[in-house]
């Protein structure tokens, strides 16, 4: 593996970890919105979760 391939893979790994952290945070927001009975915030958080998961899927492929 060349240096540029290793750095690309390392950067992608960092991106994946970042997205996983963001997904975990959004899941917490979803739980809070559900508990508080906030449908608008719940909908926004679910949309954000879908976007983050789609982005993660792209990186993992």
Q: Provide the mean pLDDT of the chain.
A: 87
* 8 to 11, 17, 56: CA distances (angstroms): 5, 14, 16
pTM: 0.81
DSSP, res 38: -
12 has a pLDDT exceeding 50:
yes
d(CA 10, CA 4): 10
Do 16 and 60 contact (CB within 8 A), yes or no? yes
pLDDT (average), residues 21-36: 98
Do 19 and 59 contact (CB within 8 A), yes or no? yes
């Amino acid at each position: 593996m060349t240096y540029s391939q290793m750095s690309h893979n390392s950067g992608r790994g960092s991106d994946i970890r970042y997205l996983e952290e963001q997904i975990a945070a959004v899941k917490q927001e979803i739980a809070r919105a559900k508990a508080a009975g906030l449908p608008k915030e719940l909908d926004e958080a679910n949309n954000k979760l879908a976007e983050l998961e789609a982005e993660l899927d792209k990186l993992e492929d």
